Amino acid sequence: MKKTFIFSIALVMMLGFCSSTFAQKSLDKKVLMSIGDEDVTVADFMKTYTKNNNAEEMNKEGALDEYLDLFVNFKLKVKEAKTLRMDTIPSFVRELQGYRKQLAKPYFIDESVNEALLKEAYDRKLKDLRASHILIMVDKNATPADTLAAYNKIMKIRDEIVAGKDFAEAAIEYSDDPSAKDQKAIPNKQRYRKGNKGDLGYFTVFNMVYPFESAAYNTPVGEVSQPIRTQFGYHLLKLDSKTDALGVAQVAHVYVSLRPNASSEDSALKAEKINNIYAKIQGGMSFEDAVVQYSEDKGSAKNKGQLSKFTCNKVVPEFVDVAKRLKPGEISEPVHTIYGFHIVKLLSRKTPGTFEEEKDALKERLAKDKRTHKSEDAVLNKIKKDSKFKISPKQKEQVFALIDSTVLDGKFNADSIAKPTKTLFKIAKEKHSQSDFIAYVADKQKKQENMDRLVYLNNLFNDFTKQELLAYADRHLEENYPEFGDLMQEYHDGILLFNLTDEKVWNKAVKDTTGQKKFFDEHRGDYMWGERVEATVFRMRKPDDVEKAMAIIAKYDNDGDIAKALDADSIKSVRIIPDIFEKGQNKFVDKVEWKVGLSDLVKSDVENLVVAVKIKKVIPPTQKELKEARGLVTADYQNYLEKEWVKRLKEKYTVNINKDVLQALKQSQQPQNTDK
C-alpha cells in the first residue's frame, strides 16, 4: 500500500511528457526556481503541471501555487536521497533496471506489424482450406549447395505437374512426407495404412507453419504454388478448396468399421449394413436407439454416439463436409471415410464471431506463434536503417576462416588463435571487431549434429548482430525517445522517494513508539470518543418468532440469559449482537432514541428483518487511550514527521523562487479572451 501511495505521488509529480500549453519558448527556458545547486526551468515544471492537471483544475484560483508547493517538497526529498547516494545502492539499481526492462518492451515491438498480423489471422479464421502438398526435405541449416539441390528438385517436379502430371501421382512418387504413400503392414509392428497422396485434409489459421499457411491462403483454388520454404524443406502446394469456416462443431455418429485394406466384397457388405441402419432411422427408429443397437464405436455408443467437439483440422475431411451441410439436429446419409461408414447427426456448431469477439483469443495465439518474429524483424530493420548498420563482408569471411571445426563439437578455444582487431560491423559510430565475435562464439558454442561449419558460424553471426543491434537501441532509448527518458526519470525519482520516505516517515512512525507516545500525549484532545451507548442489537428474521422473542428480551437483562431462554423456546431466528456503539457504526442503533431501555421495533426497508435495540448505558464523550486510537495516531504522527522533515530539508537546501518568472507564468496561464 505504501509503494502504491508513493508512486501515485511520484507519478502525479513526474508522469509523462506534455509540451507547454503556451507558445513563449523563451519563457520555457527561464529558471523558475533553484533548489540547492539545481535549477528548474519553466519547461521542467510545466511538464508535470500540464500533464497532471486538466484545464478545469488549472483554472482554479491558486492551483499553480498549490502545485508549486507539492513540486518543491518532492524535489527536496529526491535531492536528499541523491545526496545520501541512495541511487547507488545495489538493491535500488536492480529494482530500477527491472522496471526499465519492462518499460522498454513496447519500444521493441512494431505495433503496426502486430495489428496487421491480427487482422490477417482473423480474415484467415473465416475460411477453411483443403490442400495437398509434396515435400522435398532439406534441413533449415543445410549448406547453400544442398539447399539449391532441393530447390532444383522440387522445381523439376513442378514443371512435370504443370506439363500435365497428376499432382497426387507426383506426391506418391516424389514426396518425402511418408503419409503420401501406402504403408505396408509389418507383423507385430505396424498395420497397413493407406496413403493420402499428399492430401492434408482441412486446416485453417495457426494449424500449419506460417510460411505454408500464407502460401495456402494466397494460392488460387485449383492451382499449384511456387516452392515454399519451411523448416522442413521445400513444398509444392495444390489448393483444392477454400470454404467458409466450420468453426467448432460436435456430432454423434452410428459407426460401421471397415479395414483400410478391405476387399471389395467386405466393403459391399459393410455398405449394405450401414444402408440398412439408415433405412431403419428413416423408417422411424430414433438415432439414439440406432446407436445403442448397431454402432461399432462402443466408446461413443455409451454416450448416444456423441463425439468430442472438433475443428476442421481435427477430423477426417468427410466429417467437416457433412458438418457444414447439416443443421443442428439433422441426420446425414451414410458417409464413407478411411475408417469405415458413418451416419452423422449434427449436435451443435459455432462459427467464428466478429473481429471484436475473436480479437482477444487471436492475440493469445499470436503471442505464442513464430509469426510474431515479423514484428521483431521490422524493429531490427528500423534499427539497422537508423544506425546505418554496415557489415564488412571481407572481415566476416576472414574471421570465419579463423574458427575451425572444433566449434561444431562445442570445443573451440578462442585463446588458440591470435585476436584480430579489424572492424567486423558498425552500428552508428560503434565498431565491433572480429575479436568481439570470436569471444561471442566461444561463449555461445554448442555441440552440433550434421551441421556445416560455415552455416553454423553464419547463424551465430546473425545472433551476435541481433544482440548488438538491440543492445545499441536499448542504450539509446532515452536519447531517441524523450518520453521514455521522462518515464525512467519518474521511476528513478519515485523509487528514491519511496525508499527515503519509508525510512524517514512511514517505518519510523511505526517503530518509534516513544515518539508516537509523546505525540499522542501532546495531542490527546484530538482523539475523543463521541457519545456512545453500550447496547445489544437483536436481529429477528422470522415474523412468527418476533412476539415471543420480544417477551423474552424484555424479561431478562443479561444477554446470556436471553440466549438460553430463546434456545429453550426453540427460537433459532434471533441474532444477538452486543457492543459499544458510536454514531454511524450501526444504522439500527442510530435510528432509536439513545436512552436506557428496550427500543421499539425497527423494520428494514430492504429485507425481511425486524430489529430491537436494548440500550444498557449511555456513555458521554471521553478521551481515547493510545491503543484505541493507534491507527489515527500513527497516520497523524507520519504527517507530523513529514512536515518536520520538509522543514529541515528547506533549511538544508536553499529554495529560491524567481517571482518575476512565476508571475509571467501565471499570466501565460490565464484564459485568453477570444471575444471580438
* Nine-digit cell string for 174: 516424389
How sure is the predictor about 193, in pLDDT bands with cuts at 50, 70 and 90? confident
The answer for residues whose C-beta is within 8 angstroms of residue 624's C-beta and 6 or more apart is 527, 528, 529
pLDDT (mean) for 236-256: 97
Do 214 and 145 have their domain in common?
yes
Identify whether 440 is part of a domain. Answer: yes
Per-residue pLDDT of 430-485, as tens digits, reads 999 999 999 999 999 999 988 999 999 999 999 999 999 999 999 999 999 999 99
CATH number at residue 535: 3.10.50
| Block residue for cell numbers 431466528 | 573
Q: Is residue 44 part of a domain?
A: no
Q: Are 135 and 177 in contact (CB under 8 A)?
A: yes
- Pull the grid cell for residue 390: 554496415
The reply to whether 446 falls in a domain is yes
* pLDDT tens digits along 488-532: 999 999 999 999 999 999 999 999 999 999 999 999 999 999 999
Q: What is the CA radius of gyration of the chain?
A: 40
In a domain, 161, yes or no: yes
The answer to whether 178 touches 197, Cβ cutoff 8 Å, is no
Residues in the chain: 676
Are 339 and 268 within one domain?
Answer: yes
pLDDT of residue 12: 42
Tell me how far apart the alpha carbons of residues 523 and 516 are, in angstroms, rounded to a whole number: 11
Same domain, 469 and 431: yes
Dist CA 437 CA 649 (whole Å): 52
The CATH number of the domain holding residue 218 is 3.10.50.40
Show the domain range for 144. Answer: 127-244
Same domain assignment for residues 229 and 293: no
Residue 375 domain flag: no
The number of domains in the chain is 4
Residue 279, in any domain of the structure = yes
* pLDDT on residue 608: 86
Kindly state whether residues 399 and 344 are assigned to the same domain. no
Question: Is 235 found in the same domain as 259?
Answer: no
Do 232 and 276 reside in the same domain of the chain?
no
Q: First CA to last CA across the chain, in angstroms?
A: 53
pLDDT at 191: 79
For 126, residues 6+ apart whose C-beta sits below 8 A from its C-beta are 244, 245, 352
Tell which of 434, 454, 477 closes a domain: 477
Q: What is the pLDDT of residues 196-221, one digit of tens each?
A: 999 999 999 999 999 999 999 999 99
Residue 405 lies in a domain: yes
* 323: phi then psi, degrees, rounded to nearest 5: -65, -30
**Do 170 and 252 belong to one domain?**
no
The pLDDT of residue 260 is above 90: no
Question: Does residue 356 register a pLDDT over 60?
Answer: yes
- pLDDT tens for residues 176-186? 999 999 988 78
Question: Which of 209, 229, 244 marks a domain boundary?
Answer: 244
Q: Identify whether residues 534 and 469 lie together within a single domain.
A: no
Give 386-396 pLDDT, tens digit per residue: 999 999 999 99
- pLDDT for position 25: 64
Considering the domain boundaries, does residue 508 fall inside one?
A: no
pTM of the model: 0.72
- 554 and 610 in a single domain? The answer is yes
Q: What's the pLDDT score for residue 671?
A: 63
Query: What CA–CA distance (Å, rounded) separates 70 from 73?
Result: 5
Please give the Cα distance from 252 to 483 (Å, whole number).
Answer: 59
Q: What is the pLDDT of residue 668?
A: 84
Which of 577, 598, 623 is the C-terminal boundary of a domain? 623
Q: What gap in Å lies between CA 380 and CA 481, rounded to an integer?
A: 16
Of all residues in the chain, what percent carry a pLDDT higher than 70?
95
| Same domain (yes/no): 255, 267 | yes
Q: Which residue has the higher pLDDT, 53 or 164?
A: 164
Shared domain check, 541 and 453: no
Give pLDDT tens digits for 84-118.
999 999 999 999 999 999 999 999 999 999 999 99
Give the percent of the chain with pLDDT over 90.
86
| pLDDT (0 to 100) of residue 674 | 46
Q: How confident is the model at residue 672 (pLDDT cuts 50, 70, 90)?
A: low
Mean pLDDT of the chain: 92
Calculate ∠ Cα 620-625-629, nearest 5°. 100
